């Protein structure tokens, strides 16, 4: 009933390596070294006809004989689920978005969607057209997940499927999520999306081994959202939205290092950037303690967004703009 | 003299027993048709639910903004109705209201059934019901949803015991008076009654035990009931969302539950009185008294409504103000004002008049109250979700609106049919009045009358130091 997650699991017991001999076993640090004969004698046959001659190791160190034609390589997530729940040691990730530079081109959204194989209407980072009130200036407002330090979403999760990591990132484990959507109603920023139906994804994506750090393959009946690309961060690379932005609007970095870097690779001092630009956080009065800072849209380098004043599009009376010290 | 009175009393109790057992003895054509209808509705809903399981919640009208809809509204409504049993039964028991006797059973049954289906609603709403055991394996006590699970399970267990305990003597009565023991159904009934009566033979020791258990249950069920609707409100009130972020939500939900639940009891009373010819036992007096209770509860609910809306309406703060605008003069205004005037203020007016607490007008008022309470849940859940803090911009059109579609209606109506089905089947198997409690009431009445006459005679000087035994139960 619930897609083929069981199949893909069985399909290969998370086989990560296709090996012809046992030499590699030692170098990979398996506890016991096997001779080729020993291994071949005891190895159960899996996924092929009798007489299969390729040997495979599973991640838990078991040896199987298998038919090579039935094997396919699987990209393993960089870390285990336990590790993904802890976060990257010693880091405290932070994002800064410079509203003065954003021209609303939505390249960040596109880059994000390409990286996470997201459907087009699901914008993990969404560019809003904002206008505080009738007489204040309109501006573009890219909004990812704020990865709050006092996250309303993780508080209400009944099964710890969404969690806050020590590196500041809030993630979702879609292998545990029961789909109650408490986190969606709790999030004040409409950041979360639900997989209402069978997700449309290519077989390649659907068969990938899941990790909360890469957020795919997505599964029906579970929640997803912006994850700050922790799989990229782990490799020392920037998230898709940062590199995808042609205007260098988005900075990403580590608060512990007090440094953030933009898409062109320019690194600046975080505290200085926030200080010089009188940075603020969106809806500060809610007390959620976001990890995303905004630099006010002062001296904008782009034409103001066109707003359909009649229909009230973009004019958000609901949003308090008191926090904008312009 | 005494002998003939005892005979009268015995006759009266015998008639009572037969009146109560009669509905369990045969199935009329109408009953069979009614049950068939309910089974069809429930079966259709089950089929639609399986369809929803296969294709996901995307087959409902819910989308990313309105991610809770009719299912969760109905959950809150059913849990609200479940407060009836506790109120009428426990509170009236604890305050020793003699008139409660004929109506406790139906009230407790209503609690049991509405909790059963109320508890199912959030499971229907789950994206991954196959992972429901995660609630146990990975449960987090910090989550309001877990509070709900714990409180509802406790209340369900408690109210099942509360329904079952006073049924034991009646089950023994059913067992002893079962006439048809030959047919398959008769054999089933015999087995059912014998098992459930648990060897009750009415010894004084058993009576003592029963009374003790009832006393304990009566006391503990009240705080449990209050906790349930409080934590149901917490799944909303613990968020920052406009309209839900309210400190009055706990008592507001409890009051709303009591108001709709007690109205539900009156509807049950009216239905069983008519269908099972219990006019002799459930009298206009009962409706008058229950009407007064519903009136009192409606007043409390109206007061909390005032607090819930008037305080933020005075301030009209940002997002909350926009939400209130929708309710007061926007797309939801018609429903909102009909609810406030039609299902709260109008019932208060009607029930304040003695004529309004007569059986027919009171029943109509209670139908209005119950439907109003259901719609009110919807008005609490949905408009808030359409007023997030971030503007709704450039999203697919169906994300920005919500009205339940055929899938949600089918499944929800199936649950409603399930409630009626369980009540109907229950009433065809077990007496819908607590026979022994009503009998006890008749005896107490008689005793009181005797004692009164005795005192009168003594005062008149007709009796002098004469020991008179009064019949004891």
Instruction: Over range A96-114, report the average pLDDT.
Output: 94
pLDDT in tens, B391-419: 998 889 889 899 999 999 999 999 999 99
Minimal CA separation from B145 to chain A, in Å:
6
Q: B164 falls in which pLDDT band (50, 70, 90)?
A: very high
* B62:A193 CB<8 A: no
The interface residues of chain A toward chain B in range 64-93, judged by CB-CB distance below 8 A, are none
CATH number 3.30.70.20 given to A82-295: yes
Q: What's the average model confidence in pLDDT over A103-119?
A: 93
Closest-CA distance, A55 to chain B, in angstroms, reads 35
* Residues of chain A neighbouring B58 (CB-CB closer than 8 A): 196-197
In this prediction, residue B372 has a pLDDT band, given cuts at 50, 70 and 90, of: very high
pLDDT higher than threshold 70 for residue A6: no
The pLDDT tens digits of the residues spanning A136-147 come to 888 999 999 999
CB contact under 8 A, B238 and A156: yes
Chain B residues with CB-CB distance to A164 below 8 A: none
Asked whether the predicted pLDDT for residue B322 surpasses 80, the reply is: yes
pLDDT mean over B257-270: 92
pLDDT of amino acid B291: 92
Mean predicted lDDT score pLDDT of chain B? 89
Residue B463: pLDDT band by 50, 70, 90 thresholds? low
Chain length of chain A: 326
Radius of gyration of chain B (CA): 25
What superfamily does domain B2-449 belong to in CATH?
Answer: Formate dehydrogenase/DMSO reductase domain (1.20.1630.10)
Q: How many CB pairs under 8 A join A and B?
A: 161
Nearest beta carbon to residue B67 from set A157, A184, A189: A184
**Residues A182, B132: C-beta atoms closer than 8 Å:** no
The verdict on A321 touching B (C-beta cutoff 8 Å) is no
Among A110-119, B83-92, B140-149, B221-230, the least confident range: B83-92
Q: How far apart are CA A200 and CA A180, in angstroms?
A: 21
Average pLDDT over chain A, rounded to an integer: 80
- β-strand pairing of A193-194 with A259-262: unpaired
**pLDDT tier for residue A12 given thresholds of 50, 70 and 90:** very low
What is the structure's pLDDT at A248?
93
- Least CB-CB distance to A319: which of B64, B137, B318? B318
pLDDT of residue B472: 46
Question: Looking at the partner chain, which of B140, B149, B396 has a beta carbon nearest the beta carbon of A121?
Answer: B396
* Of the partner residues B139, B235, B388, the one whose CB lies closest to the CB of residue A159: B139
The CA distance from A302 to A192, in Å, is: 29
Per-residue pLDDT of A200-225, as tens digits, reads 889 888 888 899 998 889 999 999 99
CA A162 centroid distance within chain: 12
Within a 13 Å sphere around the CA of B8, how many CA atoms are in the beta-carbon half? Answer: 9
- Which of B57, B318, B389 lies nearest to residue A221, judging by beta carbons? B57
Which residues of chain A lie closer than 8 angstroms to B129, CB-CB?
178
In the numeric block, which tokens belong to residue A88? 């990257």
A161 at interface of B, judged by CB pairs closer than 8 A? yes
Longest dimension (CA), chain A: 81
| Of B56, B149, B390, Cβ closest to residue A189 | B390
Q: What average pLDDT does range B420-443 have in this prediction? A: 87
Interchain pair A129, B240: CB under 8 A: no
ipTM: 0.86
Inter-chain touch B127–A178, beta carbons under 8 Å: yes
Of the candidates A155, A157, A196, the beta carbon closest to that of B56 is on: A196
d(CA A62, CA A22): 12
CB contact under 8 A, B385 and A317: no
Residue A302 or residue A80, greater confidence: A80
What are the residue ranges of helices labelled H in chain A?
Answer: 5-12, 23-27, 36-42, 81-86, 107-116, 152-156, 182-186, 203-206, 230-234, 240-244, 270-276
Compare CB distances from B319 to A128, A179, A318 and report the shortest one's residue.
Answer: A318
pLDDT tens figures, A240-283: 999 999 999 999 999 999 999 999 999 999 999 999 999 999 99
pLDDT of A48 above 90: no
CA distance B391 to chain A (A): 6
Dihedral pair phi/psi, residue A18, rounded to 5°: -115, 115
> B468 pLDDT band (50/70/90 cuts)?
low
| Model confidence band, residue A41 (pLDDT cutoffs 50, 70, 90) | low
**pLDDT, mean of residues B4-14:** 78
Rounded to the nearest angstrom, the minimum Cα separation between B327 and chain A is 15
State the pLDDT confidence band at B369, using cuts at 50, 70 and 90: very high
pLDDT band at B14 (very low <50, low <70, confident <90, very high): confident
Unique residue bearing structure tokens 């259709």? B44
Alpha-carbon span A182 to A179, nearest angstrom: 8
DSSP letters for A220-270 = TT-EE-----HHHHHTTPPPHHHHH-TT--EEEEETTTTEEEETT--EEEH
Do residues A173 and A161 lie in contact, with contact meaning Cβ atoms separated by under 8 Å?
yes
Pairwise CB contact (< 8 Å): A181 & B67: yes
d(CA A79, CA A84) in angstroms, rounded, equals 6
pLDDT of residue A43: 57
Q: Which residues of A touch B238 (CB under 8 A)?
A: 155-156, 186
Using a 10 angstrom Cβ sphere, with 0-12 exposed, 13-18 middle and 19 or more buried, the burial of residue B36 is exposed
Residues of chain B contacting A292 with CB distance shorter than 8 Å: none
Residues of B in contact with A288 (CB under 8 A): 240
Range ranked top by mean pLDDT from A42-46, A75-79, A118-122, B68-72: B68-72
What does the pLDDT average to over B81-95?
84
> Which of A146, A190, A294, A305 is the best residue to mutate to test the B interface, defined by the most B CB atoms within 10 Å of its own CB?
A190
More confident residue, A10 or A156: A156
Interface of A with B in 237-296 (CB under 8 A): 283, 286, 288
pLDDT of B329 over the 90 cut = yes
Contacts of A320 in chain B (CB under 8 A): 318
* Residue B270 or B450, more confident: B270
Instruction: Indicate the pLDDT class of residue B61, thresholds 50, 70 and 90.
Output: very high
Asked if the Cβ–Cβ distance from B389 to A318 is below 8 Å, we say yes
The tokens describing B27, both together, are: 């199935």
pLDDT score of B71: 96
Q: Do A178 and B126 touch (CB under 8 A)?
A: yes
Contacts of A126 in chain B (CB under 8 A): 393
Q: Considering only residues B344 and B439, tell me which one the structure prediction assigns the higher pLDDT.
A: B344
The pLDDT score that the predictor gives to residue A28 is 42
A109 close to A127: Cβ distance less than 8 angstroms: yes
Contacts of B143 in chain A (CB under 8 A): 155-159, 182
Which chain A residue's Cα is nearest to B323?
A318
pLDDT at B394: 87
- Chain B nearest CA to A165, separation (Å): 16
Whether the pLDDT of residue B451 is over 90: the answer is no
Give me the pLDDT at residue A315, please.
43
In which band, very low, low, confident or very high, does the pLDDT at A33 lie, cut at 50, 70 and 90?
very low
What whole-number distance in Å separates Cα of residue B263 and Cα of residue B269?
10
Residue B133 has pLDDT above 60, yes or no: yes
Share of chain B above pLDDT 70, in %: 97
Give the C-alpha separation, A289 to A272, whole Å.
20
Q: State residue B2's pLDDT score.
A: 61
Q: Indicate yes or no: CB of A177 within 8 angstroms of CB of B389.
A: no
Count CA atoms closer than 13 A to B98's CA, side-chain side. 9
Would you state the structure tokens that stand for residue A326, as one six-digit string?
A: 């312009």
For residues B432-443, average pLDDT: 82
**B450 DSSP 8-state letter:** H
Residues B239, A313: C-beta atoms closer than 8 Å: no
Contacting residues of B for A177, CB less than 8 Å apart = 127-128, 131
Amino acid A264: pLDDT: 92
Quick check: B376 pLDDT over 80? yes
pLDDT computed for residue B455 by the predictor: 83
Evaluate if residue A7 carries a pLDDT over 80.
no
Distances (CA, A) of A192 to A125, A187, B52, B66, B193: 11, 7, 22, 12, 53
Three-class DSSP category at B268: helix
User: What is the reported pTM?
Assistant: 0.86
Query: So what's the pLDDT on residue A15?
Result: 43
The residue whose two tokens read 């879609």 is A174
Task: Write the pLDDT tens digit of every residue in A281-293.
Answer: 999 999 999 999 9
Percent of chain B with pLDDT over 90: 59
Measure Cα distances from B212 to A95, B165, B219 in Å: 64, 11, 11
Nearest to B154 by CA among B213, B224, B99, B214: B224
Domain parsing of chain A, residue ranges: 5-70, 82-295
């Amino acid at each position: 009933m619930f897609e083929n997650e069981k199949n893909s699991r069985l399909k290969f017991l998370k086989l990560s390596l296709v090996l012809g001999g046992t030499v590699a076993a030692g170098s990979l640090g398996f506890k016991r070294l096997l001779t080729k004969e020993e291994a071949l004698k005891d190895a159960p046959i899996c996924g092929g006809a009798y007489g299969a001659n390729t040997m495979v190791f599973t991640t838990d160190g078991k040896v199987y004989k298998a038919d090579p034609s039935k094997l396919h390589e699987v990209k393993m997530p960089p870390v285990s689920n336990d590790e993904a729940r802890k976060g990257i040691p010693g880091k405290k990730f932070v994002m800064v978005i410079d509203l003065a530079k954003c021209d609303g081109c939505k390249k960040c959204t596109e880059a994000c969607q390409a990286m996470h194989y997201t459907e087009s209407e699901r914008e993990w980072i969404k560019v809003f057209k904002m206008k505080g009130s009738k007489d204040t200036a309109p501006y573009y407002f890219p909004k990812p997940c704020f990865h709050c330090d006092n996250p309303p979403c993780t508080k209400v999760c009944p099964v710890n499927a969404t969690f806050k990591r020590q590196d500041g990132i809030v993630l979702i484990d879609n292998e545990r999520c029961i789909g109650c959507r408490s986190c969606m109603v709790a999030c004040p920023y409409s950041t979360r999306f639900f997989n209402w139906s069978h997700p449309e994804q290519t077989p390649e994506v659907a068969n990938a081994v899941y990790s909360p750090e890469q957020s795919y393959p997505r599964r029906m009946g579970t929640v997803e959202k912006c994850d700050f690309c922790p799989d990229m961060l782990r490799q020392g690379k920037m998230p898709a939205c940062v590199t995808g932005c042609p205007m260098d609007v988005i900075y990403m970095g580590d608060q512990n290092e007090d440094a953030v870097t933009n898409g062109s690779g320019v690194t600046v001092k975080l505290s200085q950037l926030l200080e010089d630009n009188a940075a603020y956080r969106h809806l500060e009065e809610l007390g959620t303690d976001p990890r995303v800072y905004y630099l006010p849209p002062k001296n904008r380098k782009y034409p103001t967004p066109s707003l359909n004043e009649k229909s009230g599009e973009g004019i958000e009376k609901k949003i308090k703009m008191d926090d904008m010290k312009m | 003299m005494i002998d003939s009175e005892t005979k009268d009393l015995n006759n009266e109790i015998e008639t009572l027993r037969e009146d109560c057992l009669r509905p369990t003895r045969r199935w009329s054509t109408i009953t069979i048709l009614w049950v068939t209808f309910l089974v069809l509705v429930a079966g259709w809903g089950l089929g639609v639910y399986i369809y929803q399981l296969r294709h996901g919640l995307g087959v409902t009208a819910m989308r990313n903004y309105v991610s809770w809809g009719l299912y969760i509204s109905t959950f809150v409504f059913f849990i609200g109705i479940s407060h009836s049993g506790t109120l009428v039964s426990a509170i009236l028991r604890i305050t020793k209201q003699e008139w409660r006797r004929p109506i406790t059973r139906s009230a407790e049954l209503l609690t049991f059934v509405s909790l059963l289906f109320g508890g199912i609603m959030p499971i229907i709403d789950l994206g991954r019901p196959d992972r429901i055991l995660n609630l146990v394996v990975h449960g987090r006590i910090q989550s309001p949803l877990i509070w709900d699970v714990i409180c509802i399970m406790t209340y369900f267990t408690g109210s099942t015991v509360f329904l079952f305990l006073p049924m034991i003597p009646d089950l023994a009565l059913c067992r002893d008076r079962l006439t048809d023991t030959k047919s398959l159904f008769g054999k089933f009934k015999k087995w059912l009654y014998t098992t459930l009566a648990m060897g009750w033979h009415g010894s004084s020791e058993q009576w003592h035990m029963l009374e003790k258990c009832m006393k304990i249950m009566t006391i503990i069920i009240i705080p449990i009931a209050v906790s349930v609707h409080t934590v149901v409100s917490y799944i909303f009130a613990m968020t920052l969302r406009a309209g839900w972020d309210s400190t009055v939500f706990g008592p507001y939900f409890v009051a709303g539950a009591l108001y709709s639940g007690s109205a539900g009891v009156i509807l049950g009373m009216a239905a069983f009185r008519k269908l099972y010819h219990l006019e002799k036992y459930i009298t206009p007096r009962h409706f008058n008294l229950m009407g007064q209770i519903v009136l009192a509860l409606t007043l409390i609910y109206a007061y909390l409504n005032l607090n819930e809306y008037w305080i933020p309406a005075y301030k009209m703060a940002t997002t909350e103000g926009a939400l209130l605008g929708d309710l007061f003069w926007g797309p939801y205004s018609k429903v909102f004002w009909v609810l406030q005037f039609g299902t709260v203020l109008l019932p208060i007016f009607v029930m304040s008049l003695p004529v309004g607490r007569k059986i027919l007008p009171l029943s109509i008022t209670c139908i209005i109250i119950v439907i109003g309470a259901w719609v009110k849940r919807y008005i609490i859940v949905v408009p808030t979700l359409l007023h997030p803090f971030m503007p709704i911009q450039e999203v697919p059109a169906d994300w920005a609106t919500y009205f339940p579609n055929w899938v949600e209606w089918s499944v929800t109506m199936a649950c409603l049919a399930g409630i009626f089905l369980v009540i109907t089947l229950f009433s065809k198997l077990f007496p819908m009045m607590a026979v022994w409690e009503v009998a006890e009431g008749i005896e107490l009445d008689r005793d009181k009358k005797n004692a009164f006459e005795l005192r009168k005679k003594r005062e008149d000087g007709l009796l002098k130091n004469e020991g008179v035994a009064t019949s004891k139960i």
